[in-house]
Structure 1
Amino acid sequence: MPEVWQSDHLNNANGYFGCEATRDARGASKVTGFNTWSFFEVKHLPEDLNKYTWSKLSVSTRWLRSTNQMGILLLDPSQDISTPLVTPDPRKLNDPFWVYSGILQEVARLQEIAVWKIRNHVRNIEKQAEEEEKKKQEEKAKEKEKGNESMSLGKRPEPEYRRLHNIARHAIHVTESLDVAVQNVDHIIRQHEMYIHARRNLYAPLTSQDTPFEDISSRLSFFQSHIESIRHRSISNQKRLQNEIQLKFNEVAQYDAGVTVQISHAARLDSATMKTLSFVTLTFLPPTFISAIFSMSFFNYDRDLGWAVSDKFWIYWVFAIPTTIITGLVWQYWSRIFPGLSSLHVEKEKPKGVPEQGYEKQFSDLPV
């Protein structure tokens, strides 16, 4: 067992691969064996997000050239690892990398399961959103059939943001383990090619009896392609999940914008009501003011003669009617006659020390 495999700094690693040749102590150039060590980990996310598990595959191998014997050590394997992990093939025992065909097959199997578990979570979120949208459209259709096309927004969306982000966090871990697995496979293939090249130079060119080397190389390349395709699916899961999270944010923003529109509509109605009250007040205020300031009393009641109206009553109307008309016209055209005075209050409320362009840009950048 190589000493580096037992070092403390590798305990927290998320994956690695290493190898070295062993040589005869009497001759430094004579290769007597070949050692490898590797580590793969896979994260599994069940329906209960709090019960996620890790599959860990830590392997150390030692190959003896003289007998083509292979020693395999699994350190603390998880229970979901297939047994037997590898099946020896007598035709391939002269290649120290034959064991990695079985190891990578197991890694690909575990990664496939992990990615599809994430995919199931993502698909459930998508289906839930589709059902909610379908229900919303049916409710709108019913309201339209009843002739009720009001601005009702329905219930405010309440997305489970924490759950969505937890799934996204686990999806990131799955993709991370796949990235490391792809890196390890690349390293394994590169080291295998170097081993074949060194063997060809030291011993003899490969013959038809050495085709197992080519078979193992082809098998390693296959698993490289397979694990890479699983990685692309994992990345797709992340993008789909991020798309759903963004959709939830947009739905809440759309609802809040609808509430703002309703508030604005109600404010316009209130403004129209206040304008009507102001007009009524403006109509009766000038005549009332004239009558009060001049103490005009045009009506008199006598028990014998009854009600009597002063013959000067016309004077009241001579002053009241023109005053009311002039006041109404001034009120109507005040902002057009004195446009500077209408914006004076807004100018005074601008913050001190803020340039005019910067002040206007503050509000031009606000989302509509």
Structure 2
Amino acid sequence: MSQHSRTSYTKNSIDSQTPLPVKVLEQSTTDSRDWEYRETDINESITDPRIQNIPTFVFANSDVLRGGALDLRARLEGYYGMPTDIWSDTQWESNGFFGCAGDERVRHKTWFRFLIKMVVQKKNKETGYIETTAFGNPQYDYYWHKMGFFSTWSPKGHRSILCLDCPPEFVGHIHKSLSSVGGESFHIDPYCFHPFIVGGVVSTFDASIWALRDLVRMTEKNRKRDEKMADYEDHFDYLHEISRHVNHSGETLTVATEVMSKMVHRHGTLLARAEGAPDLHRDAIMQVDDNLDFYQGLLFGFKCRCESMQQRHQSEISLAQSRAVASDAAAMKAIAGLTIVFLPATFVSAIFSMSFFESGAEWGLSPKMWIYWVIAIPVTLITVLLLRKGPKGSIMRFFTF
């Protein structure tokens, strides 16, 4: 299983001239609804004057940049306006952020980040069925999507967003979304890229939450009452592992809603400035604002769903623990029952072994042995009956007086 942990890098460990392959999704110059893919190098995508005014989504992997390509970092920081300490562990390994700088009338830059945890149920390669634990719960793997975004926009210059470490499904969702809307806002609003990015993030969060929900639902459906204690111990480990993933999702969703809140707030100031703008411009900015607000609501809904899932899963843990306690109580009750059965006879035997009774010079079975059984058996039966039918706790209160 993958682990969410920090990774240390050494500066200059990778040649600063190492090319960074990217996939570019750019708007067609003839049809604003048509977007085309092409593969190139990051240097070409930020230096080619032909595409300076063309809106572009640039998708790349961050390994080279995180590895210490200092010259390449400097060029990207200059083009996208990234903070110089964006590659530090403090920022790069954070669970989310949003920042912006610049005047949208000249040049506006934003940088933001989302983390999403994904769980995937394991399937047997031969049968295709989901592999399960001894308790009947599905086995799974997990991994993280750690996506970073950097946008730059000016009325007559750069219009691009760099998307780092995005999964293929995310890229496909953005392409599909772009093909269904017009591209007028890309020439008007510096936040024109953000609704499509956030839409992909929402889609990825949706898949993440439902995958976790399936695991939680399976634990609810696989409740068993007659399991051995060892099985319950394994089940506890499984339940707590699922709880860890659900808690992580709750954390990242909380941060994501805060990121969206900051983004919507910042765009609201842009909308307020557009009061005297032409209707076409104001309508385009208003549409972007409405889309961002809509996705913010969806993320909040996911957060509520995750909180509900946390409560459901905690109920399963409590139920499993109560059953384990009940199993322990049943075992203790059996032990107490055996003790009660043998205690009166032991007590009577102790009485007869005292010096109040005399024995002959030779060992033998006394003809008066029947006296022991006549006394021990009734005392045992009376004790058991009092425990079963007597007032609750009366025996215990008698002996603890």
The answer to whether TM tops 0.5 is: yes
Q: Counterpart in 1 of 2:316?
A: 244
1:318-365 Cα distance to aligned partner (Å, 9 max, x none) = xxxxxx9xxx9xxx9xxxxxxxxxxxxxxxxxxxxxxxxxxxxxxxxx
Is residue 164 of structure 2 the alignment partner of residue 75 of structure 1?
A: yes
Length-normalised TM-score, structure 2: 0.58
* Match in the other structure for 2:118: 44
1:270, distance to aligned residue in structure 2 (A) = 0.6
Using the TM superposition, give the Cα deviation of residue 222 of structure 1 relative to its aligned residue in structure 2, in angstroms. Answer: 0.9
**Which whole-Å CA distance do the structure 2 matches of 1:75 and 1:262 have between them?**
62
Could you say what secondary structure the match of 1:96 adopts? Answer: coil
2:237 maps to 1:158: no
Partners of 2:229 and 2:103 lie apart in 1 by 68
Aligned to 2:210: 116
Are the aligned partners of 1:55 and 1:80 in contact in 2 as well (CA < 8 Å)? Answer: no
| Superposed structure 1 runs of 4+ greater than 6 Å apart | 279-282
Pick closer, same or farther for the CA change 1:120–1:79 going to 2, 3 Å.
Answer: same
Q: For residues 193-232 of structure 1, what are the structure 2 equivalents within 5 Å? A: 193-200=268-275, 204-205=276-277, 207=279, 210-232=282-304
Q: Which residue of 2 aligns with 1:355?
A: none
Mapped partners of 1:246, 1:157: distance in 2: 17
- CA 1:170/1:84 → structure 2, altered by over 3 Å: closer, same or farther? closer
Where 1:85 maps in the other structure, the secondary structure is helix
1:210-289 matched pairs, under 5 angstroms: 210-277=282-349, 286=357, 288=358
Residue 36 of structure 1 and its aligned partner are, at CA, apart by 1.2
Match of 1:150 in 2: none
Is 1:19 aligned to residue 112 of structure 2?
A: no
2:83 aligns with: 4
Confirm or deny that 1:97 pairs with 2:186: no
Equivalent residues of 1:44, 1:54 under 8 A apart: yes
Amino acid at match of 1:56: K
Task: Report the alpha carbon displacement of residue 227 of structure 1 after superposing the two structures with TM.
Answer: 0.8
User: Which secondary structure state, in structure 1, belongs to the residue aligned with residue 287 of structure 2?
Assistant: helix
Tell me the secondary structure at the aligned position of residue 32 of structure 1.
coil
18 and 193 in structure 1: CA distance in 2 versus 1, 3 angstrom threshold: same
Which structure has more helix as a fraction of its residues?
Answer: 1
Aligned 1:338-349 pairs, distance under 5 A? none
Change (3 A) 1:90 1:110: closer
Paired residues of 1:36 and 1:60 also in contact (CA < 8 A)? yes
Residue of structure 2 equivalent to 1:317: none
Q: CA shift at 1:50, angstroms? A: 6.5
Q: Secondary structure at the match of 1:95?
A: coil
CA deviations 1:164-185 (Å, max 9, x no partner) are 2111111111111111110111
Whether 2:254 is the aligned partner of 1:179: answer yes
Q: State the Cα deviation string for residues 185-217 of structure 1 (Å, max 9, x = none).
A: 1011000011222344xxx25636521222221
Q: Distance in 1 between matches of 2:258 and 2:211?
A: 23
Structure-2 change in CA distance of 1:155 and 1:44 (3 Å): closer
Q: Which residue of 1 aligns with 2:109?
A: 35
CA distance in 2, matches of 1:155, 1:167: 21
The letter for the 2-side match of 1:40 is: F
Structure 1 unmatched runs, 5+: 24-30, 137-153, 294-323, 333-368
Contact 1:43 1:173 survives alignment (8 Å) = yes
Q: Specify whether residues 278 and 209 from structure 1 end up closer, same or farther in structure 2 by C-alpha distance, changes over 3 A only.
A: closer
2:107 and 2:228 map into 1 onto residues whose CA distance is 71
Match of 1:169 among 244, 247, 256: 244
Corresponding residue of 2:61: none
Q: 1:32 to 1:281 in 2, by over 3 A?
A: closer
CA RMSD in angstroms, aligned pairs only: 3.1
Query: Gaps spanning 5+ residues in structure 2: where?
Result: 1-79, 123-138, 362-370, 380-401
Please tell me whether the aligned partners of residues 149 and 163 of structure 2 are also in contact (alpha carbons under 8 angstroms).
Answer: yes
Q: Aligned with 1:13: secondary structure?
A: coil
Q: Is this contact kept in 1: 2:81–2:152, CA < 8 A? A: no
> Does the Cα contact within 8 Å between 2:116 and 2:252 map onto a contact in 1?
yes
